[in-house]
Amino acid sequence: MSITSLLAISLGAILTNNFIFSQFLGVCPFLGVSKKIDTAVGMGGAVTFVMALASAFCFFINKVLVALNLEFMQTVAFILVVASLVQFVEMFLKKAIPTLYTALGVYLPLITTNCAVLGVALLNVQNNYNFIESVVYGITGGLGFLLAIFLFAAVREQTEFSETPKAFEGFPIALITSGLIALAFMGFSGLKVW
């Protein structure tokens, strides 16, 4: 494990293999919570936190499952870990930041079924990452999610005040906008760092 490999994992998770724009994982909360920047950043922070912890816990859970020849239980075990972590985040936000808890509403428990969180745990196993690489991928994958939802919320706030054709008002212009941002992120796929 070297700094260059960690940098490659980080840049890949944030830009070239962004969970939202390149892998299309976690689109439900992305579209649902991106109407205002502050709630989008709160959701992005919560998802980043859960992704980082899920990567760490699922690394050790996977080691136990492999040692017991129970690899077929990975998905179920990872879902249980993610559900537990989301419950922890929900209880913390309810006590510490009740305004954010209220603003996120139904989308906070939906982190449990957010396929990006489960996807990061499964991709860590698929890519055969060690513990440090898994945690770095989890954190930077969450930061990529945060970047995506922040950019989309910023653009979406501006489209509220823009004149759009009647047929495109509301959700249709949001989908078109997210598609254009995804095209911009696909431009990073040809990026050569070294």
Band (147; pLDDT cuts 50, 70, 90): very high
| Whole-prediction pTM | 0.86
Quick one: which of 76, 120, 86, 78 has its CA closest to 106?
A: 86
- Neighbouring CB atoms inside 10 A of 90's CB total 17
pLDDT in tens, 75-123: 999 999 988 888 888 888 888 888 878 877 777 777 776 788 899 999 9
Rounded Cα distance, 176 and 154, in Å: 15
Residue whose pair of structure tokens reads 């969450």 in the numeric block? 142
